[in-house]
Structure 1
Amino acid sequence: MLRIITILLFFINLVNFSYAQSVDPNPNSTHEKWEYVLEDTGDFLQIALPVAAGLTTIIKKDWQGSKQFAFSYATGFVISHALKKIVKKERPEDRNLYDAFPSGHTTSAFSGASFIQRRYGWKYGKWAYVLATIVGISRMEGPDGWHDIWDVLGGAAIGIGSTYIFTKPYEKNKINVGFYSGNKQYLLTFKYEF
């Protein structure tokens, strides 16, 4: 519970910092400051989620997980950027940019979130998915919106799909062996968890 509170406090501080730092580049625009904060938050989280996933594997010394994350993230990245070149969908707001589908930010965020959930369970995964959803919203609701709902859903599907191809749930040792000695007695225990 303390970890969740710490994460939420960090996120609140991040939003406050982003709000203080966000500046409207065009003072005559119709956009509100919160839109810039949302976009900045999405930019941060699209990197923070995969970094958190990778660091978790290192902290847990889960080298198999590190390898699975590398394969799943790289696959999502390659598919996402290849589809941008193949589909050539125009970005909203008539920007004359033809790389809208799928959202790369969303692919990155959902790749990290789905890895955390798939490898380590819903206890942490649900919060990672909430943060990844914020990234998707930021891509649609930030100033002028960089993507529409289909771009974001496509990015999320690629991020989640690539994770589920390569990632297996983390299993701790199911067998624990213990030994006790004292008063000329010896005790050897085996514990198997189902």
Structure 2
Amino acid sequence: MKNLFCALLVIVSGTSWASSDLETSGDVLHLMLPATAMGATLFYEDGYDGSWQLIQAAVSSRLVVEGLKYGVSKDRPDDSGDDSFPSGHTSDSFMAATFIQQRYGWQYGLPAYIAASYVGYTRVASDQHYLEDVLAGAAIGALAGWYFTDPYKGITVTPLAGNGTYGVYISGRF
């Protein structure tokens, strides 16, 4: 799994990108993140549970995104259409990153979130979306990934902070 994330980072790295190369790298990564999430369910022999949770998260986030695109009809920054809000690429990416983090832990989730953030960056930098489109897409995808995903096995540890309180939330699946 670590090798796969390293390969993803190499694919999208570089010192200078033309706008079309930047957009293409985001397009490719936005497809690779859900594929990686599905691949993880196969790698871990996670079977039906993990795959079904990923499918539920993907379908629900896509339905919300498409419904909002149709209902809001916001023009894109480059005037290529009226389906700017919210960003589907970013929603797909954050859904997959959240699935990976929730199911398999932060050691895999953090690189996935970095990659998902890069996808969002490419959507704004290539004039396909405004910042608020990307933020809304990220929120929709992350919420769907969180709602439908259970930890794979064992105990999940999540850091907590708020209202002057800091701690760790520990949950287990038995």
TM range (shorter): 0.7 to 0.9
2:55 to 55, 66, 70: 70
Report the alpha carbon displacement of residue 15 of structure 1 after superposing the two structures with TM: 4.2
Report the alpha carbon displacement of residue 8 of structure 1 after superposing the two structures with TM: 2.5
Structure 1 runs (4+) deviating above 3 angstroms are 3-7, 13-16
> Does residue 131 of structure 2 align to residue 137 of structure 1?
no
**1:128-153, Cα deviation, whole Å (9 max, x unpaired):** 000000100000002xx110110000
> Does residue 45 of structure 2 align to residue 47 of structure 1?
no
1:61 to 45, 57, 64: 45
| Counterpart code for 2:75 | E
Instruction: Give the secondary structure class of the aligned counterpart of 2:91.
Output: helix
Unaligned segments of structure 1, at least 5 residues: 20-31, 174-193
Instruction: Give the secondary structure class of the aligned counterpart of 1:102.
Output: coil
**1:83-108, Cα deviation, whole Å (9 max, x unpaired):** 10011111113x16211000011011
Unaligned segments of structure 2, at least 5 residues: 156-173
Report the alpha carbon displacement of residue 165 of structure 1 after superposing the two structures with TM: 1.3
Q: Count residues with an aligned counterpart.
A: 155
Using the aligned pairs only, state the percent identity.
37
What RMSD, in angstroms, separates the aligned Cα atoms of the two structures?
A: 2.3
Aligned to 2:171: none
Aligned to 1:149: 131
Query: Per the alignment, do residues 139 and 57 of structure 1 end up closer, same or farther by CA in structure 2, a change over 3 Å counting?
Result: same
Aligned to 2:141: 159
Is residue 74–residue 83 contact of structure 2 (8 Å, CA) maintained in 1? yes
**What's the TM-score once normalised by structure 1's chain length?**
0.73
| Counterpart code for 1:146 | Q
> Does residue 35 of structure 2 align to residue 37 of structure 1?
no
Counterparts of 1:37 and 1:151, CA distance in 2: 21
> Does residue 84 of structure 2 align to residue 100 of structure 1?
yes
Instruction: Give the secondary structure class of the aligned counterpart of 1:92.
Output: coil
Aligned to 2:161: none
